[in-house]
Amino acid sequence: MLTDYHVHLRPDEPGTTAERHFTAANAERYRAVAEERGIAELGVSEHIHRFYDALDVWDHPFWRQNAADDLESYVAFVREETDLRLGIEADFVPGREDKMANLLDGHPWDYVIGSVHFLREHAVDMPGAFDVWGRGDSAEKVWRRYFETLAAAARSGLYDVMAHPDLVKVWGRARPAPAVDPARFYEPAVEAFLEADVAVEVSTAGLRKPVGEIYPARAFLEMVADAGCPVALSSDAHVPEHVGHEYEAALELLGEVGISEICVFEHRVRRLEHVG
């Protein structure tokens, strides 16, 4: 079994409207690439900040800029016009857990993907006005805050899968890296995943980013494997061609760390299937 659950039906750039991208024909383009690459389980997980309903959870300027769509219409589109699994990528906003739970409740998700892009007002993966880097905080501090937030996100119980679990490394050498062994950041995160019984995403998206490496790093994934946390395999595609992107590398890494099963989700119930 191969899966691709963390998939966006449109790029993040402005002008990528729901009208143009939430169509049966566009979903079919993703399905065609998945079939070509042997991916049986395909789902979508649009960014929650693109729905105006999410402004109730967090009124951040970036979210305000992007909130243009109706969540209910997205859910109805995926359910009624596609054969894709229904997911959502929902940021963790500390202190707003109840609001997020309210927003997520009452929709027939197959899975909810939790992600940490922001540390308070600033993002780890966004250049420009909202960049967390270059504000005087050390790399150690940024990494520590990132992994603390990730652990809190897992423990919130809001999510089925934790996305791109070491996203903080996205810039590679273009941003400072901590001088210490990153294991000290991974350990408490893995403890939180285990306690929360949440799945950990193995994402090939990092191979397309400056860091040029799968999320999570091998040492992190080894800890995940040793702890026995379930993993979910995804590409974080934002265009059809990226569905199943470089899965050969992901399968090799999974094999090397001794992971032979991946998660399959239906109506927020998880089961494990043999990978490959």
Nearer to Zn ion, 128 or 136 (CB): 128
Least Å distance between CB 256 and Zn ion?
25
Nearer to Zn ion, 115 or 156 (CB): 115
Least Å distance between CB 121 and Zn ion?
17
Strands 118-119 and 122-123 come out as: antiparallel
Q: Is 201 in the site for Zn ion (CB under 5 A)?
A: no
Q: Which has the closest alpha carbon to 231: 209, 204, 210, 206?
A: 204
Least Å distance between CB 53 and Zn ion?
18
Nearer to Zn ion, 82 or 115 (CB): 115
Least Å distance between CB 125 and Zn ion?
8
Single residue of 3, 66, 115, 203 touching Zn ion by CB under 5 A: 115
Provide the token pair at 63: 């979210």
Output the CA torsion sign for 93, 98, 99, 105.
Answer: positive
List all residues 6 or more positions away from 21 whose beta carbon is below 8 Å from its beta carbon.
9, 10
Q: Quote the CA–CA distance of 194 and 269 in Å, as a whole number.
A: 17
Which region among 67-75, 109-117, 144-152, 212-220 touches Zn ion (by CB under 5 A)? Answer: 109-117
Angle at 185 between CA 182 and CA 190, to 5 degrees: 120
Nearer to Zn ion, 12 or 226 (CB): 12
Q: Report which residue type is found at 234.
A: S
Residues 161 and 198: beta-carbon distance below 8 Å: yes
Least Å distance between CB 183 and Zn ion?
23
Interface map 36-65 toward Zn ion (x if CB under 5 A):
------------------------------
Which region among 14-22, 56-64, 107-115, 172-180 touches Zn ion (by CB under 5 A)? Answer: 107-115
Nearer to Zn ion, 172 or 258 (CB): 172
Binding residues for Zn ion restricted to 72-91, rule: CB under 5 A: 89
Residues 231 and 222: beta-carbon distance below 8 Å: no
Other Cβ atoms less than 10 A from the Cβ of 115: the count is: 25
Interface map 218-237 toward Zn ion (x if CB under 5 A):
------------------x-
The number of C-alpha atoms within 13 Å of 129 and in the hemisphere containing its C-beta is: 4
Q: Quote the CA–CA distance of 49 and 58 in Å, as a whole number.
A: 9
Least Å distance between CB 184 and Zn ion?
24
Residues of this chain that interact with Zn ion (CB under 5 A) are 89, 115, 236
